[in-house]
Structure 1
Amino acid sequence: MSSLVNATLGHRPFNRLLIAVAGGTGMRSLARYAMGFAEPGAAVRLVSIVGNPRVLFPTLPLSYSDWHDAHVESIRVNEAALAEAKKDIEGPNLAPETELLDLSVHGSRAAQVLGEAVQQWDATLVAIAAHPRATAGGWGERLDPEDVAAMVGVPVLYVPSENLKSDVAAPSRVLVAVDGSETAMRALCAALEAVPHGAMWRVVFVVDSVLHMHGWPDDVLTRDGRRTLDRAAAFLKAYGRTGDTELIDTSADARDVHAAIALDADRWGAQLLVMGTRGRRAATRWLLGSVAERTLRSASRPVLACPPVDVAVGGAE
C-alpha cells in the first residue's frame, strides 16, 4: 500500500525528521512525541532558535553589555536544551544532529530561517511547538505554526506548548478532515503510515451551508462528500485501521468549516487533527487555505498539516 500512495499521491516517508522550538522550551517533550511519527532508522535533527535582542530595540548595539550578556545566556540555555533532548532520544541506531539558529546572525524571521534550514537539510517532516500568542515573549523567535507551514513546503506536525507540560502520549484518537482534494487524501495516507497501530480513526467531510446556493439541491453538495468519504474508508481498510467516516455540516454552533471541524474534534475527543494545507476551498493566503490557517492558529491539540504535492516536491518558493 505504501508504494501505491507514494506513486499516486506523492507522499514522502517521514525518514528525515527536523524538530524545532524557539528558545529551547519544550524540546525534550516535543522530541519524544515527534519520534513516534518517524520511520524506523530515520535521521533526526534538533533545532533551537535563539532570538535577536535588537528586535525590541533596533538602535541598541548588540555589544551593549546587558543585552550581550542576556544573549549569551540565551544561547547557553538553548544549547543545554538541545543537549538534554539529544541525550534523551539517542540510541544505538539513532544519533540526532543538533543545530542552533541565531536570529541575530541570520537577520530574518524565525519561520523564514527555519524554512531555509528545512530545505537545506531536505527534511520530510517538521515538528514544532509554539507558545500561545497572548503569553509569547522573547526576541522575535516565536514560531507561528501557520507561517511555518507556509514556508517549509513539507508536512508540519504542530504541538501547542500547553500540551508539552508533561510527556505527550501517542495519539489514540485521530480525526482527519478531508475536502475531496488530493492534498487532503495525501494527508490522510501520511497519517495512516505514521501513527502507530491501535489508534481509532474518524474522517469527516464538512458541507458548508454557505455554498447552498438558491435552486441547488442539497445532494449536489453532499454527493462529492460521500464519494470522498468512501475513498477515505477504502484507505482505512487497506491500512488495516479501525475508524468511521461522517458527513457533517456547518450550523448555528459552527458557522463555518473551521468551526465545524473544531467542534467535532472536541466532541469526539480527538488527540490529533490531520488535514491538508490547501484543498479546493478559496485561499486567503498565498499558500495556506483559510481553514488550515485558522486551524493551526487556534489549535488546542496537535495538528499534522500536509501541503499540496507540487509544493511538497518542489519546496516553497
Structure 2
Amino acid sequence: METDTDVPPQTSGFRRIVLCVDSSDASHCAARFARRFAQHGVELTIAAVALDPRPLAPHAALSGLDLSAARRELLDDAQRAIADSSSALADKAAAVRTHVIDLAKERGDVAHALASKAKADHADLMILGTRQHHGLVRWLDPSVTDRLSQLAPCAMVVVPDGYESPREGGFQRILFAVDGSPTSFAAVKIGALLATPETEIRVVYVVDRAIRYSDFVPMTLLEDAFVKEGELAIAEAAQCLESLRNVTRAHVSANLVSTDISADDVSHALLRDAERWNADVLVMGTHGRRGVARAFFGSVANRVASLAKVPLMLVRDQHEESTPSPPLKNVG
C-alpha cells in the first residue's frame, strides 16, 4: 500500500497542471520538464490551441477562398502537438487528459483561451515553452507568454527553447528574486512548494545602479535606499522559507546583487546570477507594485522570460492571499 511518503515532496503542492503545447521544439522542452511533476495523484491536462484561419487570411471571404482545409490542418497540428507531448509522459503515473481548443469555434486569442482552460480546470500550475520567433501554427512566442503572464489564474513555469533538464525528480537549486513587494513574497510561498529538505535555496534582490535619476535626488541616497529595502526584503523572504518544513535552514542563503553602473539592467543582472549559481529554476513575481526603492517586477519579469536559459516560475499578485490546493492522498 502506498503512503504519502511515496509522493516526491518537491511537487506535492501542485496537483492540477495544464501543460500548454504547440508544434515547436520549445513545447518538447516543456513536456520533458513536466515529467518532474507527472506523479501519482497529479491531474495533468495537455492543451493545444488550433488557431482560427480567418484572421490569418482576412480577405479569403472576398476572394471566395474556402478555409476549411486550413482549419483542418490547424486542428491536425494541434492534435499532433498533443500526441508528441503525451508520448513524452507515457511512462509517468499522472492522470493525463488532452484538450484541443478550437479558436474557430471559441474565438478570442491564444492567451485568453489557455487562461480560461486553466481556470476551468482549477489548475495550480501552468507549464509552457517559449521561443524567440513567430510562426503560423507555432504560437508559444514571447508575446503570448507576456500576455498569459497577465491572465494566468495560477503560477506559470516558462521553459526556454533548447533547455535540457539535467535530471528528473527534485530541484537541487532554486533561486528566488524578491523586490520587497507582496507579489514577490507570494512568489516565495508558491515557489517554495518546489523545494525538498535537500534543495539549496538562494534569495536575491537586485540593486539597480544603472538607472539615471534626476539631479534632485543624489544617486548615493537612492542606492542606499535600494540597499536598505533589499536587505529587509531578502531577510523577510529567508525567514519565511526557513519556517517551512520542506526547507532546511542551513540550505538557505540571501544576497544583494547589483547591476553595473552602465550598460546593464535588472534582468541581465538577475540572469547572470542564476547562471553563475547554476540554478535549476528561477522564481519571481510579476506585476509587483512600485515603491520607494522601485519594485522592478512586471516588465522585468517578461524580459527575464524572453532571455532566461533556465525555467522561470512567474507568480501573479493574486496569490498574495492564496496557495495551491493541498496534495491528494494516495490510496493503495
Q: Same fold (TM over 0.5)?
A: yes
The alpha carbon displacement at 1:247 in A equals: 0.9
Q: In the aligned structure 1, how far is the partner of 2:124 from the partner of 2:262?
A: 37
Range moving further from structure 2, 34-43 or 201-210:
34-43
Instruction: Return the match for 1:137 from 96, 117, 135.
Output: 135
Matches within 5 A, 1:196-207: 196=196, 198-207=198-207
The alpha carbon displacement at 1:185 in A equals: 1.8
Amino acid at match of 1:229: I
Q: Render the CA deviation track for 1:142-179: whole Å, top value 9, x for unaligned.
A: 4521111111232110012222xx55635433221101
Aligned identity (percent) is 26
- For the 8 Å contact 1:26–1:161, the answer to whether it is kept is yes
Range moving further from structure 2, 208-217 or 267-276:
208-217
The alpha carbon displacement at 1:309 in A equals: 3.1
The equivalent of 2:221 in structure 1 is 216
TM-score scaled by structure 1? 0.78
Q: In the aligned structure 2, how far is the partner of 1:305 from the partner of 1:280?
A: 15
Aligned length, in residue pairs: 293
Amino acid at match of 2:235: D
The alpha carbon displacement at 1:228 in A equals: 1.8
Q: In the aligned structure 2, how far is the partner of 1:312 from the partner of 1:104?
A: 37
1:260 aligns with 2:269: yes
Q: Render the CA deviation track for 1:217-260: whole Å, top value 9, x for unaligned.
A: 75443222112222233244331162421112222366332232
SS across alignment from 1:31: helix
The equivalent of 1:307 in structure 2 is 316
SS across alignment from 1:216: helix
- For the 8 Å contact 2:26–2:162, the answer to whether it is kept is no
Q: In the aligned structure 2, how far is the partner of 1:37 from the partner of 1:196?
A: 14
Range moving further from structure 2, 23-32 or 108-117:
23-32
SS across alignment from 2:162: helix
Amino acid at match of 1:136: H
Amino acid at match of 2:248: G
The alpha carbon displacement at 1:270 in A equals: 2.8
Q: In the aligned structure 2, how far is the partner of 1:131 from the partner of 1:259?
A: 18
Seen in structure 2, the aligned counterparts of structure 1 residues 146 and 125 have a Cα distance that, compared at 3 Å, is same
The equivalent of 1:297 in structure 2 is 306
Gaps of 5+ in 1: 1-11, 283-287
1:250 aligns with 2:273: no
Gaps of 5+ in 2: 1-11, 292-296, 323-332
1:52 aligns with 2:60: no
The equivalent of 2:4 in structure 1 is none
Matches within 5 A, 1:165-244: 169-170=167-168, 171-196=171-196, 198-209=198-209, 210=211, 213-214=217-218, 216=221, 218-238=223-243, 239-240=247-248, 242-244=251-253
The alpha carbon displacement at 1:202 in A equals: 1.8
The equivalent of 1:4 in structure 2 is none
Q: In the aligned structure 2, how far is the partner of 1:232 from the partner of 1:59?
A: 54
Seen in structure 2, the aligned counterparts of structure 1 residues 106 and 181 have a Cα distance that, compared at 3 Å, is same
SS across alignment from 1:98: strand
TM-score scaled by structure 2? 0.75
Matches within 5 A, 1:260-279: 260-279=269-288
CA root-mean-square deviation: 3.3
Matches within 5 A, 1:82-161: 82-89=82-89, 94-132=94-132, 135-139=133-137, 141-143=139-141, 144-161=144-161
- For the 8 Å contact 1:24–1:49, the answer to whether it is kept is no
- For the 8 Å contact 2:26–2:159, the answer to whether it is kept is no
- For the 8 Å contact 1:126–1:154, the answer to whether it is kept is yes
